[in-house]
Amino acid sequence: MHFALLKKLADRYELPQISMGMSSDFDTAISFGATHIRVGSAFFGERPPRT
C-alpha cells in the first residue's frame, strides 16, 4: 500500500510530518502515521463533475 511506502520514506529521511489520506481513507492514513489529512469532501460534499 502507498501509505506504508510513504511512512517508510518519511522515517528514512526523518520527516516530522506526513500529509496523506483523504475523506474516504483518512482512518487508514492515520493508522500509517499521517499527521495531516485532506477531508474537504467530508465537510463540503462531492465536487460536481467538470463539463
Give 25-43 pLDDT, tens digit per residue: 999 999 999 999 998 888 8
Q: Tell me the C-alpha distance between 34 and 21, whole Å.
A: 7
Query: Do the domain assignments include residue 51?
Result: no
> Average pLDDT, whole number, for the chain?
93
Residue 27 belongs to a domain = yes
State the pLDDT at residue 43.
86
In a domain, 10, yes or no: yes
Q: What is the pLDDT of residue 51?
A: 84
pLDDT reported for residue 42: 87
- Name the domain count of the chain: 1
Supply the pLDDT for residue 9. 97
The radius of gyration computed from the CA coordinates of the chain, to the nearest angstrom, equals 13
Domain of residue 19 covers 2-44
Mean pLDDT of 14-29: 94
The per-residue pLDDT for 1 is 74
Residue 50 lies in a domain: no
Q: 38 CB contacts (<8 Å, ≥6 apart)? A: 19, 21, 22, 23
